[in-house]
Chain A
Amino acid sequence: MNNKLKVLRAMRNWSQAELADRLDVSRQAVNAIETGKYDPSLPLAFKLARLFHMPIEEIFDDGFEGSNDD
């Protein structure tokens, strides 16, 4: 799943380790999410959304382009 985590982190001038500290996860977890190798759990996605003050769907993109009725 694509995400904007790296860009959002850069806008705040945070390192991966700093973001990991704020989320209380390992640096490897942040790196794995940023590189798309790991999709976070729903609680961690909510934590990210709260940290960046954004809805989850603005941070993560599952590539779905249809309408919600599909």
Chain B
Amino acid sequence: MTVLKEAMMTEVATSKAPRRASPRQRRYRFALGFAAVLGGIIGGWMVADQPAGRDGVEAAFHGSLSAGFAIGASLFWAVGLAISMTIYHRAIDDHEERAWLWAGLAGWYAFIVPAPVWWVLNRADLAPPADTMLLFLFSMVVNAIVWMWLKFR
């Protein structure tokens, strides 16, 4: 028990000491930073692309977009995400990899369960047409919740 108490005290006493990041940690931070910058650029560009007076919800989800922004943002998303996720997966440790795999599976189930249900209900006029982006967002939210739970619980 004494040894365990010492372990906890050591954790408190030394956890604030600054440490040099390892190459893996630097790659990890770069991948996350790169993705954040990419998201910021796409978001900022989307706002700048909107005509004056359009409200935020319409701008984000329903309003029309210029062809220039649509092509540019698609390229940024596809190429940028591929680059940042490649770096990310080469930088994460065992624990986070496991969290990512289970989160990915949960996100996949969050898509394959509701998508056909919505589709057949719509064909029977029992639901509006399936909204791809709503399904995508639901899948991403489930993915994020499971990832955070497995990494930080």
Contact = CB atoms under 8 A, between A and B. Distances in A.
Interface of A: 6-7, 9-11, 13-18, 21, 24-26, 28-29, 32-33, 37-38, 40-41, 43-44
B3 interface: yes
Contact of A10 (B3, B94, B96): B3
Contacts of B94: 25, 29, 40-41, 43-44
Contacts of B61: none
Given A21-B22, A24-B22, A37-B153, A29 B95 contact: yes
Interface string B107-120: 00000000000000
Contacts of A33: 95
B62 interface: no
Contacts of B96: 26, 28-29
Contacts of A26: 93, 95-96
A10 B10 contact: yes
B19 A7 contact: no
A16 B96 CA distance: 16
Classify chain B: how many residues form its interface, as a range: 20 to 34
A15 B13 contact: yes
Contacts of A10: 3-4, 6-7, 10
A54 to B, nearest CB: 16
A9 B10 CA distance: 10
Contact of B10 (A7, A15, A40): A15
Contacts of A17: 11, 14-15, 17, 19
Interface string B1-44: 00110110011011101010010110000000000000000000
Nearest to B28: A26
20 contacts: A6-B7, A9-B10, A10-B6, A10-B7, A10-B10, A15-B10, A16-B11, A16-B15, A17-B14, A17-B17, A18-B14, A21-B22, A28-B151, A28-B152, A29-B95, A32-B153, A33-B95, A37-B153, A38-B95, A43-B94
Contacts of A37: 153
B54 interface: no
